[in-house]
Amino acid sequence: MFCFQCQECANNKGCTVRGVCGKPEATANLQDLLIHTLKGIALWSKEARSLEIAHSEGLFVAQCLFSTITNANWDDERFASLIGQALERREVLRQDVLAAYKAERGRDFDKTMDDSATWSGPTDSFAEKSRSVGVLATENEDVRSLRQLLIIGLKGIAAYADHAAVLGYEDENLYDFFMEALASTTEDLSVDAMVALVLKAGEISVQTMALLDRANTETYGNPEITQVNIGVGTRPAILISGHDLRDMEDLLRQTEGTGVDVYTHGEMLPAHYYPAFKKYDHFVGNYGGSWWKQNDEFEAFNGPILMTTNCLVPLKRHNTYADRLFTTGMTGYPGAVHIPDRPEGGAKDFSALIARARTCKAPTELETGTIVGGFAHRQVLALADKIVEAVKSGAIRRFVVMAGCDGRHRSRDYYSEVAQALPKDTVILTAGCAKYRYNKLALGDIGGIPRVLDAGQCNDSYSLAVIALKLKEVFGLADINELPLSYDIAWYEQKAVAVLLALLFLGIKDIRLGPTLPAFLSPNVAKVLVENFGIRAIDTVESDVAAMMDGR
Ligand code: FS2
Ligand code: SF4
């Protein structure tokens, strides 16, 4: 195996035996083979497009990409099944292309196609085949880096596209780009062409996050300032994690009046900010912190846990929650009960979780109090006058975007320390699970504006971009980089790469990225990003805070 898609990869080079995340070699290889097969679908899709054959593989491809992101799916049987389905779909598409080509040209299709478009085999051949199609199959380090930057960004974008599709919001343009991008990684392109595709991925990422923002807010209302309880009640409960708001809706509806409460974990915290969910009395609060603390926190929760998307880490050998862990959507775990997809127009059936919850104790209290959030674009723009006034009067000197991810490593203490070291006249704008590094610190407020404004999930980084663009307009600036705004982004997995590419597309310069720069950036590709966008690795807390306050 060779995997270097996340920030915690071994020695910041790549995992070669077993993932630092716990991903076994067999799973990593099956994920590689799935991506390889998707490239084949993409190549036939390109041929189909040139022959004007309509097909609908876009969402399937997005879901498969999503299934390979860090901490999403651990179930080899599921990956084998997805590869099998991909081969079947690819074959149908191929047959359509061959027939249409012959009908149009009067001769057989004779183009030589890449292995990804032609290989096939039974399930028991997948393991062997998978060993030859991984990341290292591309020998040139810079080509590999640019192709992987594109694919890794695409995985994050695809996850967001799936979240939007669950709510009925789809855009064929996004799917077309997934095909174009995947196909491109089998072709000999110039460096310029590969860089252009990476930048286009940033544009597509913005469009996808905008679509998801529309899906979430048109379905569930605009997030509002909300005090979220972090303590516990006395009734048995279900813990829901991940990012899927439609699962949240189905669960809240089905638990209402059952005597079973609902709590969020990790990236599901922002569900509390939506009007459609706030109305449920049994939606009690948020339990614990970010994804990497789950082994302990899921133990202490005592009740069933529903993982709706990525953010599931392997269970410890001696655990008490294997039999109360449920997965759904593109996530999966061997031995966990997988809740099937909802029937057309219907809801998922969470009755098994509710029945299990009734046999469980109430959650063990970890902490008490509240945290505040709900500062997505609509809410912040409603406060725009107050914020602009505070900037003009000098009460707010600077904003620092500290969105992104949390992770296991001690090096992430940097983000808590930056939050504490920033002067009291600064405001932190955040989204994603990075917030757990500082959202329970007493950082105070500025004239009633909290010093940490949480927009929501990682995809709600889109909100932060909307806010920045609005501030640029209000202050009459020509360039977004003239705002009193610095970026100190933490990344862990591929959704954060999608967000980073989006920020680059929006023209944002001088982003600090940490705790380390991605291993998938070769020295030459990193140099391009440094020279063109001023991306830099984080330094010490003192020097970074001083530099940001200086506008550097
Ligand atoms: Fe947390 Fe980072 Fe949201 Fe992940 S914000 S680790 O991208 O999907 O979560
Ligand atoms: Fe390693 Fe990250 Fe890949 Fe897991 S996802 S195998 S930790 S690079």
How does pLDDT run across 25-55, given as a tens digit for each residue?
Answer: 999 999 999 999 999 999 999 999 999 999 8
**d(Cα 253, Cα 444) in Å, to the nearest integer?**
36
Give the model's pLDDT for residue 313: 98
Instruction: Note whether 6 and 31 are within 8 A (CB).
Output: no
Give the model's pLDDT for residue 127: 97
> Is residue 19 lining ligand 2, measured as CB closer than 6 Å?
yes
Please state the rounded mean pLDDT for residues 59-78: 98
Please state the rounded mean pLDDT for residues 329-347: 97
Band of pLDDT at residue 430, cut at 50, 70 and 90: very high
State whether residue 8 is helix, strand or coil: coil
Band of pLDDT at residue 11, cut at 50, 70 and 90: very high
In ligand 1, which atom is closest to the CA atom of 495? 7
Residue minimizing CA distance to atom 6 of ligand 1: 405
DSSP code of 288? S
What would the pLDDT profile of 119-149 be if each residue is shown by its tens digit?
Answer: 999 999 999 999 999 999 999 999 999 999 9
Band of pLDDT at residue 498, cut at 50, 70 and 90: very high
Instruction: Note whether 157 and 461 are within 8 A (CB).
Output: no
Tell me if ipTM is over 0.85: yes
At residue 498, what is the residue type? Answer: A
Dist. CA 328 → ligand 2 center (Å)? 22
Q: How far is CA 283 from CA 137, 291, 363, 447, 515, in A?
A: 49, 20, 14, 30, 34
Q: Which residues carry a binding-site annotation for [4Fe-4S] cluster?
A: 3, 6, 15, 21
**d(Cα 198, Cα 193) in Å, to the nearest integer?**
9
Please state the rounded mean pLDDT for residues 163-169: 98
Task: Spell out the domains of the chain, with CATH numbers in brackets.
Answer: 10-219 (1.20.1270.20), 226-357 (3.40.50.2030), 383-549 (3.40.50.2030)
> Is residue 147 lining ligand 2, measured as CB closer than 6 Å?
no
**d(Cα 284, Cα 233) in Å, to the nearest integer?**
7
Percent of the chain whose predicted confidence (pLDDT) is above 70 = 100
Dist. CA 492 → ligand 2 center (Å)? 10
Task: Write phi, then psi, for 534 (nearest 5 degrees).
Answer: 70, 20
Of 1, 11, 20, best ligand 2 pocket probe by most atoms within 8 Å of the beta carbon:
20
Per-residue buried b or exposed e for 201-215, using 16+ beta carbons within 10 Å of the residue's own CB: bbebbbbbbbbbbeb
Q: Which residues carry a binding-site annotation?
A: 3, 6, 15, 21, 243, 267, 311, 405, 433, 458, 493, 495
Band of pLDDT at residue 330, cut at 50, 70 and 90: very high
Give the range among 166-170, 362-366, 380-384 with minimum mean pLDDT.
380-384
User: Two tokens at 137?
Assistant: 């199959």
Please state the rounded mean pLDDT for residues 199-210: 98
CA angle, residues 392, 380, 444, in degrees to nearest 5? 70
DSSP code of 257? T
Give the model's pLDDT for residue 551: 94
Dist. CA 464 → ligand 2 center (Å)? 28
Residue minimizing CA distance to atom 3 of ligand 1: 458
Give the model's pLDDT for residue 97: 98
Instruction: Note whether 250 and 342 are within 8 A (CB).
Output: yes
Q: What is the DSSP string of 154-218?
A: HHHHHHHHHHHHHTT---HHHHHHHHHHHHHTTS---HHHHHHHHHHHHHHHHHHHHHHHHHHHH
Q: Which residues carry a binding-site annotation for hybrid [4Fe-2O-2S] cluster?
A: 243, 267, 311, 405, 433, 458, 493, 495
> Is residue 204 lining ligand 2, measured as CB closer than 6 Å?
no
Please state the rounded mean pLDDT for residues 260-264: 98
In ligand 2, which atom is closest to the CA atom of 7? 2
In the β-sheet with 512-514, what is the strand arrangement from edge to edge? Answer: 452-454, 426-430, 398-401, 485-490, 512-514, 536-537
Q: Which pTM was predicted?
A: 0.97
Give the model's pLDDT for residue 185: 98
Q: How far is CA 345 from CA 170, 341, 535, in A?
A: 16, 11, 45
Dist. CA 486 → ligand 1 center (Å)? 21
> Is residue 514 lining ligand 2, measured as CB closer than 6 Å?
no
Please state the rounded mean pLDDT for residues 385-412: 96
Please state the rounded mean pLDDT for residues 444-473: 96
**3-state SS record for 289-320:** CCHHHHHHHHHHHCCCEEECCCCCCCCCCCCC
| Ramachandran quadrant class, 257 (left: phi over 0; alpha: psi -120 to 50; beta: rest) | left
Residue 257's CB is within 10 A of a number of other CB atoms, namely: 8
Band of pLDDT at residue 154, cut at 50, 70 and 90: very high
Ligand nearest to the CA of 266: 1
Task: Write phi, then psi, for 229 (nearest 5 degrees).
Answer: -70, 135
Residue minimizing CA distance to atom 5 of ligand 2: 70
The position carrying tokens 């899927």 is 244
User: Two tokens at 164?
Assistant: 């939007």
Please state the rounded mean pLDDT for residues 52-75: 96
Give the model's pLDDT for residue 363: 98
Instruction: Note whether 38 and 86 are within 8 A (CB).
Output: yes
Q: How far is CA 106 from CA 45, 109, 366, in A?
A: 21, 9, 71
> Is residue 4 lining ligand 2, measured as CB closer than 6 Å?
yes
In ligand 1, which atom is closest to the CA atom of 491? 2
Give the model's pLDDT for residue 204: 98
User: Two tokens at 27?
Assistant: 């799973």
